[in-house]
A and B are shown apart, each in its own frame.
Chain A
Amino acid sequence: MKADTVGGITPAVLVQLQPGEKVLAAHDIMLHMDGPVKIARKSLKHLGVSTAHLMSLRARGDSEDSYFFAEFEGPGNVTFSRDKAGEVRILQLAPGQGIRLRSGHLICFDETVRYNPMILAQWVIQNGQDQDTEYLFADELYGPGTIVFQSYGNILSFNLRPGEAMRTSTEGLLASSPTTSVNVGWLGAQMAGLMMNPKPILYLTGPGQVMVHSGV
């Protein structure tokens, strides 16, 4: 597929498909498509995601992604929009190259790309007497193929060397390489040995690429 970004502040993605060429996209983000383009449903099971794995994710909470993708087959043009201000990135993944993308930001990808939903991080929030576990869901994608995603706000990219670390808020992380480890720590004012108003924060350790976005 050939993908291009259209517009600036609230960009759309224009995908040009050759006859028989297919692209998978998140449900309900299509802006327009040409008459000859065909659509179908592609369940995650067809992409190799096991039902048990999906049920396990669902049991932990609701990620923003649906249990299926919309499949568009050429010839023709299709545009997608996430209806939000931000930047669109088009990545060509080499065979075996991977990326972990925050859930709800994927726009479309080639049918040759391997897809797997996952939990990138989790932490426990003390809510009075109760404990609530919160999850950071992600889409893990492996090449070969093209993927397109959108940030909310602007993207800041970092290349971490082996052992190099950085911190970001739990909302700020957009994407990271599978080689980058993601751990949860806590920030808060220390007072009399107790942490006041603790907030979770992500510790990212290289090697690998990390993208954070400015809008949440």
Chain B
Amino acid sequence: MQLETLKGIVPACLATLAPQESIYCEHGIMLYKDSTVGVGRKTIQSGGTFGAVKRSTVGGIPFFLAEFTGPGSVAFSRDGVGEIRDITLAPGEVLDVAEGSLLCAENRIPYDMFYVSGTHRPGRMVGFWMDRLTGPGSIALHGFGNVISMTLAPQEKVTCDYGALLFKSGSVQAKSLNLPFGGGLLGHLEAYEVLELIGPGKVALQSIDPKKPHT
């Protein structure tokens, strides 16, 4: 499989597939495909029936993934201003990708997902889902806005906005955190609801929160 970024303000990803080569992506983000490319449904096994219902009804995550099989080309777009990153995962390397950011992944990459809980406080009652991808194989991601990458040392911490996280290594812990804004009731009412990331591993942030209504 060959991945190519079609650069521009709203970039797209072009995947060229050899015969019988397959990739998968979230349902509904295909831009176009050659007529020789076959389409199928890839069921998400993670979490069983209850997990699937919770993901799709509460989280708004599609019930299944779309699978494309070569020969031919297929292009994907997340319909947003941003950058595309093509990443090659080494054998056993785990990458967690924020929901709504994965463009496509090779079919040999196992797909899983997990839920990062919110703080259960006003402003962040609920958390969000992340896709878990394990190498070897190639994937393409869409970062909304610009992408800022960093590597965290063991136990090194950064705090980020919920919508800012694009991806992280599987070894990086993510947990919801409430940062009071000074003392008193006002300080707690206006607190930041943030995500604390603890190393070691890679972290990438995006400068646009895709869930904010004005984007």
List B contacts of A81 (CB < 8 A).
145, 164, 207-208
Distance A16 CA – B26 CA, assembled complex (angstroms): 38
| Identity of the chain B residue whose Cβ is nearest the Cβ of A6 in the assembled complex | B148
List A contacts of B182 (CB < 8 A).
40-41
What are the 7 tightest A-B residue pairs by CB atom distance, in nearest-first order? Answer: A7-B146, A10-B145, A35-B157, A32-B160, A41-B182, A81-B207, A41-B181
Q: Answer whether residue A60 sits at the interface, using C-beta atoms and an 8 A cutoff.
A: no
List B contacts of A84 (CB < 8 A).
208, 214-215
Q: Answer whether residue B158 sits at the interface, using C-beta atoms and an 8 A cutoff.
A: yes
Q: Answer whether residue A9 sits at the interface, using C-beta atoms and an 8 A cutoff.
A: yes
List A contacts of B144 (CB < 8 A).
10
Min distance, Cβ A69 to any Cβ of chain B, angstroms: 10
Are A33 and B159 touching (Cβ within 8 A)? yes
Most buried by B among A10, A34, A37, A68: A10
Min distance, Cβ A67 to any Cβ of chain B, angstroms: 10
Q: Answer whether residue A39 sits at the interface, using C-beta atoms and an 8 A cutoff.
A: yes
Are B190 and A12 touching (Cβ within 8 A)? no
Residue of A6, A34, A35, A41 near B190 (CB, 8 A) is A41
Residues of B159-178 whose CB lies within 8 A of A:
159-161, 164
Give the interface of A toward B (CB within 8 A): 6-12, 27-28, 30-35, 37, 39-41, 68, 70, 79, 81, 83-85
Distance A33 CA – B158 CA, assembled complex (angstroms): 6
Are B148 and A35 touching (Cβ within 8 A)? no
Residue of B148, B157, B181, B212 near A40 (CB, 8 A) is B181
Q: What are 10 of the A-B contact pairs (CB < 8 Å)?
A: A9-B145, A10-B81, A11-B146, A12-B148, A30-B194, A31-B160, A31-B207, A68-B190, A70-B192, A83-B145
List B contacts of A37 (CB < 8 A).
159
Residue of B160, B161, B164, B181 near A39 (CB, 8 A) is B181
Distance A16 CA – B146 CA, assembled complex (angstroms): 19
List A contacts of B215 (CB < 8 A).
83-84
Distance A68 CA – B182 CA, assembled complex (angstroms): 12
How many residue pairs between the two chains, A and B, have CB atoms under 8 Å in the bound complex?
Answer: 87
Give the interface of B toward A (CB within 8 A): 9, 81-82, 144-148, 156-161, 164, 179, 181-182, 186-187, 190, 192, 194, 205, 207-209, 212, 214-215
Min distance, Cβ A22 to any Cβ of chain B, angstroms: 13
Are B159 and A32 touching (Cβ within 8 A)? yes
Most buried by A among B145, B160, B179, B212: B145
| Identity of the chain A residue whose Cβ is nearest the Cβ of B194 in the assembled complex | A30
Min distance, Cβ A71 to any Cβ of chain B, angstroms: 9
Most buried by B among A30, A31, A35, A79: A31
List B contacts of A31 (CB < 8 A).
148, 160-161, 164, 205, 207
List A contacts of B207 (CB < 8 A).
6-7, 10-12, 31, 81, 83
Are A79 and B146 touching (Cβ within 8 A)? no
| Identity of the chain B residue whose Cβ is nearest the Cβ of A68 in the assembled complex | B190
Min distance, Cβ B186 to any Cβ of chain A, angstroms: 7
List B contacts of A9 (CB < 8 A).
9, 81-82, 145-146
Min distance, Cβ A27 to any Cβ of chain B, angstroms: 7
Distance A69 CA – B30 CA, assembled complex (angstroms): 42
Are A83 and B209 touching (Cβ within 8 A)? yes
Distance A66 CA – B210 CA, assembled complex (angstroms): 23
Distance A83 CA – B157 CA, assembled complex (angstroms): 23
Residue of A68, A79, A83 near B205 (CB, 8 A) is A79
